[in-house]
Amino acid sequence: MSDPSPPPDAADIMTVVHEAVGGIELEPAEKREIWRFTQCELPYLWSQRTSYFILGSYRDPHIRRLRAVQNELTKQLGAYPFIMGDLLELPTDRLNTFDIMFSLLATYSDYIVGVFEKESGGEAPELGEIDDSPYFDKSYVFPRDYAWVADEHLESKRHVVQAALEIAFADDLTEDEAHSKIDSLINRAQASGIDIDEHEVWDILDDRVDEEEEPATYNWVHLNKFRKFELHDRCFPWTTEEELRTAVDELPSPTPRPEWEEDG
């Protein structure tokens, strides 16, 4: 196999790569592997299709949710949704290949879509990457069970569901005690004017208990990052996979071209 040659925009690509590796000098073999990766994967991002870089955990069952987002986006004509784990690997022993691949894909993608269900794992540093320049303006987050709570009062249906989940999975409550507390929670919410159906809440809880999927927990850093996206109307919380699939419709459609590109 002949060595790949540098693409026409090699200078811009190498600027991204050098920033990703902290400016260290690349060896010739490393450059060849980077050119091979860019020639194989970046043409899809440079095509007329709108690309969506999907971030999140590859572990089961979380990977199923990434596939759900990918499948929903695939239904849209002109969309190219992808997960980094499906792409060509960048085989270098010395370099941090994740940083290089992530930087290249994030730079040349039209949109970045983060699906979060926990505060640990590879998706944690990814959140730290996309909540600031140069990726923030084209990034969207979908955190499971997220609800920004400024005080102790219930403010929306999502706050009620989140509180009910925490009660349902509380270790210090019997099943009857949890049931009673959840009924009381729903009654208080309805009395305060929140439009919520008790059967819907119990359906969500029953599914989560059956699947043994405890409520997603996030530290204060994660919550503040989600809040930043929320204030920019680019945070879409979800509880069930059906809600996640529906929320995908909130992403920009494949046309027109993204605002971040037009403003550049």
Identify the three-state secondary structure at position 133: coil
pLDDT digits (tens, 9 = 90+) for 9-41: 888 999 999 999 999 999 988 888 899 999 999
Instruction: Identify the CA nearest to 122 among candidates 147, 97, 92.
Output: 97
Low-confidence ranges of the chain (pLDDT < 70): 1-5, 7-8, 119-123, 149-154, 255-264
In this structure, the number of other CB atoms found within 10 A of the CB of residue 257 comes to 12
Pick the CATH number of 10-146+216-262 from 3.40.50.880, 3.40.50.2000, 3.40.50.150, 3.40.50.450: 3.40.50.450
Cα angle: 140, vertex 146, 150; to 5 degrees: 110
Per-residue model confidence (pLDDT) at position 154: 66
In this structure, the number of other CB atoms found within 10 A of the CB of residue 204 comes to 18
> 157: Cβ–Cβ under 8 A, 6 or more apart, which residues?
189, 194, 195, 196
Question: 90, 34 in Cβ contact below 8 A?
Answer: yes
Distance from the Cα of residue 213 to its chain's centroid: 18
Q: Hey, where are the domains in the chain?
A: 10-146+216-262, 157-210
- pTM as predicted: 0.82
| 58 phi, psi to nearest 5 deg | -90, -5
Q: Where are the beta strands (DSSP E) in the chain?
A: 50-55, 79-83, 111-116, 139-143
Amino acid at 11: A
Per-residue model confidence (pLDDT) at position 151: 44
Question: 103, 75 in Cβ contact below 8 A?
Answer: no
Phi-psi category of residue 209: left, alpha or beta, with phi > 0 → left and psi -120 to 50 → alpha = alpha
Question: Exposed, middle or buried: residue 55 (CB in 10 Å: 0-12, 13-18, 19+)?
Answer: buried
pLDDT digits (tens, 9 = 90+) for 89-128: 887 778 888 999 999 999 999 999 999 997 665 567 889 8
Per-residue model confidence (pLDDT) at position 3: 66
